[in-house]
Amino acid sequence: MTERRPIAMPKPASSILLIRDGGQGLEVLMTERAQTMRFAPGAFVFPGGKVDRMDQAFWRWQGRTTGVKAYRDLPYRVAALRELYEEAGVLHMEEPVGDAHLVHRIPARVPFSRVLEIAGGLLDTASLVPFAHWVTPEPMPRRFDTYFYLAAHKGQAARHDGSEAVSMKWVSPRKLLADWEAERTPLMFPTRLNLMKLARASTVTQALLEARRERIVRTLPQVNMQDRGVRLTIDAATGYGVTEATERELSVERP
C-alpha cells in the first residue's frame, strides 16, 4: 500500500491588485514572470509573494504604517506593499514621496523598514481593501495561504525588477481576459478569476466600493484525478461564476 504524503501547511502570502483609471477605463498593474522561474514561467500575475518574518514583526511597523492597531492582517498588508515595491518599484505611502526618483535609487539590499525611513512618511496599509483569499489545494507539496488586496494607484511610476518580473504593464482586465481567451496570454486559474471579478467594475471608485461591500470567501480548490487527467474545481459559493480550471491554466501552474 502506498503511504499518503502528509498535507503541507500553507505558508502566508500576499498579492496586490493596483488599479487606476486609464484612457479606456479601469486598468490593473500586471507583471510578466521570467521564463526561468520554476513556477508559472511566462505567466502574467499581480505583484506578490510570501509573508516574511520581518512582515510579521508588529512592533517593527509601529509608527511606520497607517492603521497599525486596526488590522489583524497587518503582516499580509505589509507583505503586499513590500512586494509591490520590490517587484514594481512602487512605494505606496500615505503621502507621495517628495523626490520622485528617490525610491529607484535605494539599493535593493536595503531592508524594507529602512526604505520607509529613507522615504519618510507612512506606508499606506489602511488604503488596502481585501479582495480575495485563496489557499493552494491540499495535495500540492508547496502551498500558500494568499490574501489579495485592492489599492488605488497614487501616480508613482512602476518598473519591473528584471529578475522575477521581466516586463510590466497597465492593462484593462477585460482586454487581458480577451487575450487569454484568444490564447495570447497565459494566466493562472486564480489570476483569471480575480481579473473576472475586477472586470465587473469600470472605474477605480466602483471597484473599491464593490470590494468593500463584498464578503470574502476563502477559496480552497479541490483536486480530483480522472481518466482524462487532473480536475481542479472550486465551490460555486465563492461567487466567481466559474468553478473549474481549464487545461491551459493547469499547464501554466504545473511545475
For residue 140, pLDDT over 50 is answered with: yes
pLDDT, tens digit (0-9, with 9 covering 90-100), for 81-103: 999 998 898 999 998 776 656 77
**Residue that wins the pLDDT comparison between 205 and 95:** 205
pLDDT score of 29: 96
Tell me whether strands 25-33 and 165-171 are parallel, antiparallel or unpaired.
antiparallel
Confidence of residue 2 (pLDDT cuts 50, 70, 90): very low
Per-residue model confidence (pLDDT) at position 183: 92
* 3 state SS of 179: helix
Element (H, E) at 30: strand 25-33
Average pLDDT over residues 37-44: 69
Asked whether the CA dihedral 243, 247, 253, 255 is positive or negative, the reply is positive
The mean pLDDT of the chain is 88
Which range (19-23, 214-218, 247-251) has the least confidence? 247-251
- 117-148 in b/e form (b: 16+ CB < 10 A) is eebebbbbbebbbbbbbbbbbeebeebbbbbb
Q: At what angle do helices 189-198 and 173-181 cross, to 10 degrees?
A: 140
- Ordered structural domains, the chain, with CATH: 11-253 (3.90.79.10)
Q: Given a cut of 60, is residue 1 above it in pLDDT?
A: no
Collapse the DSSP code of 172 into the 3-class scheme (helix H, G, I; strand E, B; otherwise coil) and give the result.
coil
Residue 152 φ then ψ, to 5°:
-85, 130
Residue 134 near residue 190, CB atoms below 8 Å: yes
Give the residue-averaged pLDDT of 188-198: 96
Residue 236 DSSP label: G
Whether the per-residue pLDDT at 195 is higher than 60: the answer is yes
Between these two residues, 239 and 34, which has the higher pLDDT value? 239
The backbone torsions φ and ψ at residue 248, rounded to the nearest 5 degrees and listed phi first, read -65, -40
Q: At 76, which helix (H) or strand (E)?
A: helix 74-88
pLDDT of 3 over the 60 cut = no
48 pLDDT more than 90: yes
Q: Taking the alpha carbons of 62, 65, 70, 74 in that order, is the dihedral positive or negative?
A: negative
Q: What pLDDT sits at residue 151?
A: 98
Give the integer Cα–Cα distance in Å for 225 and 232: 9
